[in-house]
């Protein structure tokens, strides 16, 4: 393997939120328009239905340049009131990290997985966005390549990870850290949701301009704007939307009631999961919970 390829591999294996960010990014790109427009807040309080103490729901962008990183006082206060931390994936679990390393490699080389036209298309995308060639990433999965290009789109090398920050805060308080899903299940969701052509379309969409707009709306805590981009039928399908967005939200909301009965929980998931008809906020409200934005 070439030295440059070894460097790429180290980056992928040592970063904790790549898969989660891909899910967030695709949520942003594939978001459906909706008449449900929640207030501008990344932090939401959950109460009612026999909950003794409120739990909290926070929308993250997963990874962000250090200069852009922020965590409001209202969020720190809510975190300190919580007895458990629930993430999409528990990246502090060594088993999950080991699984991440295994899944970063493709089941077969990209040179066998893709046809000549698709390989040429991928090579063009890589050269444009990373300066690399398809030969240098031949052993990786398309999901790993998408993760790599997504990272590059931030334009910095000092990325901070919200999940890591929350995990460190939880460790200092000695509270439990758990995940809704596993690295394996997220990889399977992405693999099953997209055809090779659809994945290549996402690779083409992962640009610095898209990331800049995403960051702008995230800093404004604008949940509606993050969810407002209309679905582009050129690179998605109804099946994909359900697998990436709706089905996962429904599954999470099924798990949340029992968790919130036991202790106040701080749930931190991609901000793209909060808004919309099948967003976590609306699904919890349909279940009879009071979910309100924490504005200050």
- Residue 131, φ and ψ in degrees, nearest 5: 80, 5
Q: Is residue 256 part of a domain?
A: yes
pLDDT computed for residue 8 by the predictor: 40
pLDDT category at 80 given cuts 50, 70, 90 is: very high
pLDDT category at 245 given cuts 50, 70, 90 is: confident
Please state the rounded mean pLDDT for residues 131-136. 93
pTM of the predicted protein model: 0.85
Whether 43 and 80 have beta carbons less than 8 Å apart is answered as: no
pLDDT at 77 over 50: yes
Note down the domain range covering 236: 14-97+157-293
Q: Is residue 114 part of a domain?
A: no
pLDDT in tens, 165-199: 999 999 999 999 999 999 999 888 888 888 888 88
pLDDT computed for residue 260 by the predictor: 96
Q: Is residue 3 part of a domain?
A: no
Q: Is residue 130 part of a domain?
A: no
Q: Is residue 4 part of a domain?
A: no
pLDDT in tens, 96-106: 888 888 888 88
Lowest mean pLDDT among 59-63, 226-230, 246-250, 268-272: 226-230
pLDDT computed for residue 3 by the predictor: 38
pLDDT at 119 over 60: yes
pLDDT category at 143 given cuts 50, 70, 90 is: confident
pLDDT computed for residue 215 by the predictor: 87
Q: Is residue 149 part of a domain?
A: no
pLDDT category at 234 given cuts 50, 70, 90 is: low
pLDDT in tens, 261-271: 989 999 999 88
Instruction: List, in order, residues 6 or more apart from 14 with CB less than 8 Å away.
Output: none
Q: Is residue 260 part of a domain?
A: yes
Q: Is residue 7 part of a domain?
A: no
Please state the rounded mean pLDDT for residues 205-222. 84
Please state the rounded mean pLDDT for residues 242-252. 90
The listed range with the strongest mean pLDDT (2-16, 47-61, 225-239, 270-284) is 47-61
- Residue 115, φ and ψ in degrees, nearest 5: -80, 170
More confident residue, 229 or 219: 219
pLDDT at 278 over 90: no
pLDDT category at 137 given cuts 50, 70, 90 is: very high
Q: How many domains, in total, are found in the chain?
A: 1
């Amino acid at each position: 393997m070439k030295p440059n390829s070894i460097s790429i591999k180290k980056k992928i294996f040592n970063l904790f939120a790549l898969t989660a960010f891909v899910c967030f990014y695709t949520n942003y790109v594939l978001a459906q328009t909706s008449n449900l427009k929640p207030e501008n807040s990344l932090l939401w309080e959950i109460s009612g239905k026999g909950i003794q103490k409120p739990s909290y729901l926070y929308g993250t962008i997963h990874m962000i340049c250090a200069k852009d990183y922020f965590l409001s006082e209202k969020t720190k206060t809510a975190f300190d009131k919580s007895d458990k931390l629930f993430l999409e994936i528990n990246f502090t679990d060594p088993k999950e990290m080991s699984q991440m390393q295994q899944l970063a490699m493709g089941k077969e080389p990209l040179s066998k997985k893709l046809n000549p036209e698709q390989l040429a298309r991928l090579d063009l995308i890589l050269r444009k966005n990373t300066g690399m060639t398809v030969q240098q990433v031949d052993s990786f999965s398309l999901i790993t390549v998408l993760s790599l290009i997504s990272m590059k789109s931030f334009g910095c090398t000092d990325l901070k990870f919200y999940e890591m920050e929350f995990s460190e805060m939880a460790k200092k308080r000695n509270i439990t850290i758990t995940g809704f899903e596993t690295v394996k299940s997220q990889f399977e969701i992405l693999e099953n949701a997209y055809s090779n052509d659809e994945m290549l379309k996402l690779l083409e969409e992962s640009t610095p301009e898209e990331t800049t707009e995403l960051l702008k709306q995230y800093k404004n805590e604008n949940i509606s704007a993050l969810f407002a981009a209309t679905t582009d039928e050129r690179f998605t399908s109804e099946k994909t939307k359900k697998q990436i967005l709706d089905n996962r939200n429904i599954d999470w909301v099924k798990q949340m009631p029992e968790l919130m009965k036991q202790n106040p929980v701080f749930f931190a998931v991609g901000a793209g999961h909060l808004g919309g008809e099948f967003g976590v906020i609306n699904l919890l409200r349909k279940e009879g919970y009071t979910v309100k934005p924490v504005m200050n």
